[in-house]
Amino acid sequence: MTDLLHRADRLRADRTPFVLATVVRAERPTSAKAGDRALVLPDGTMEGFVGGTCAESTVRLQGLRLLETGESTLLRITPDGADVTSEREGLLTVSNPCLSGGTLEIFLETMIPAPLVYVQGEAPVARAMVDVARSIGWEAVSGPASAVPLDASAVVVASHGRDEIESLTAAVRADVPYIALVASRKRALAVIGELPLTDLEKARIHAPAGLDIGARTAPEIALSILAEVISKRPRQTAPPPGRIELPLLQPVAKAAVSKVAVAKDVICAMDVAISPDALQYEHEGTMYYFCGSGCRRAFIDNPARYL
């Protein structure tokens, strides 16, 4: 468990989203015990232990769904479907007929990195942006135009003429949710006019930056910008950690955030998340996915019976 928690700390440091699954109650007979833990990663792989393959399959699927919403929940997995209809806030009950043991209750805690604000420039407003963003619990870093983080929620260019074209272009190409230029209205129009972007892409840039709250000082301007970022409510997604290296003047393909891919177990009709760790078997050119080893063995023994 210590190694698993150290692994969780490394994932946080790398800004990798994950779900920490902790068994809080286990009825006999079951292989899991209260306190057992596992991590669910964005690609569906799991590390740790929260029960057998049937319980693991359910935790994987629900964990991936939570990564899309950023919510946490108490998951109850039961071999008896009687409790499924009793919905309570914060409790999700799933009937798994293949579960060999008793009911399991597992807390699924979703760990989504705090929104990241990337500031380009060394002006007073740029330094204030970092301070104000951190004061509200966000992450904020400043750096050159050549290293826009892939998972930035906002890019604010406050460099007063230095590398503005490169920074704004890179941010737009990376599809950053919020992009702003700190400049006067007249100069902002001139800078945007020089960008090698379409009119629709240019329209995504907030210039002048921030809400009109009568801000005058650098901290007040930073506050107005963050207020505008919050008003847009960019939802943190889960791209792999990395950086965008310039020159980035051509469009780049960005993987879309898709819904969890799900297959139906042909034996027990359970939903199974399609992932590298999922139990699977290829039959006549088609890949089938299973909630547990029992279902997989049954299918392998007699595929025709279930097709």
Tokens, residue 93: 């009950």
- The dihedral over CA atoms of 3, 7, 10, 11, expressed in degrees to the nearest 10, equals -170
Our CA angle for 270, 275, 278, nearest 5°, is 55
Q: Look at the pTM and tell me if it is higher than 0.75.
A: no
Q: Which domains does the chain have, with CATH numbers?
A: 2-111 (no CATH), 116-245 (3.40.50.720), 262-306 (2.30.170)
- CA-closest candidate to residue 201, choices 179, 225, 227: 179
Helix (H) or strand (E) holding 262: strand 262-264
Instruction: Judge residue 34's burial from the number of C-beta atoms within 10 Å of its C-beta, 0-12 exposed, 13-18 middle, 19 or more buried.
Output: exposed
3-state secondary structure of 2: helix
b vs e for 234-268, b when ≥16 Cβ sit within 10 Å of the residue's Cβ?
A: eebbbbeeeebebebeeeeeeeeeeebeebebbbb
| pLDDT tens over the chain, length 307 residues | 789 999 999 999 888 999 999 999 988 877 889 999 999 999 999 999 998 888 899 999 999 999 988 899 999 988 876 555 456 778 888 887 776 667 899 999 999 988 889 998 888 998 999 999 999 899 888 877 667 777 888 999 988 778 888 888 888 888 888 999 988 889 889 998 889 989 999 999 998 888 888 888 999 999 999 999 888 764 544 444 444 333 333 333 333 344 788 989 898 888 899 988 889 999 999 999 998 888 999 999 999 998 8
